[in-house]
Amino acid sequence: MIEKSVLRLRTKNYRRVISEAISNIDYNAKLKIIEIEFKDGEVYHYLNAKKSEWNKMIEFADKGKGLGAYINQIFKEPYKTGERKYYRLNAIEER
């Protein structure tokens, strides 16, 4: 079994956030993956994530409220690829 630390993104975008449920978030622009670590230690990765989604998460994180609720609305549909848990983004419109 691969340890979670090996699977982490740890890019220059890595941020700790103020949230009741979320510890930190990260974004790999090249791979288009958003990583979310929850306070319970669970780590989730979201594929095909657009930069606009990352920017929206940063907006919520900077406000210090609503990030968890936003994530629950947008990020859904789990599936597995290898050792990493991935989730697909719900379809959203670009503005």
Q: What is the pLDDT of residue 86?
A: 56
Q: What is the pLDDT of residue 12?
A: 95
Tens-digit pLDDT profile for residues 10-59: 899 999 998 888 999 999 999 888 988 888 888 888 888 889 989 999 99
Residue 39 has a CB neighbour count (10 Å cut-off) of 12
In the chain, what are the helix, strand and coil shares in percent, each to the nearest 5? 25, 35, 40
Is pLDDT at 79 greater than 50 in this prediction?
A: no
Q: What is the pLDDT of residue 90?
A: 43
Q: What is the pLDDT of residue 55?
A: 93
Residue with tokens 């890019």: 11
Mean pLDDT to the nearest integer, 4-13: 75
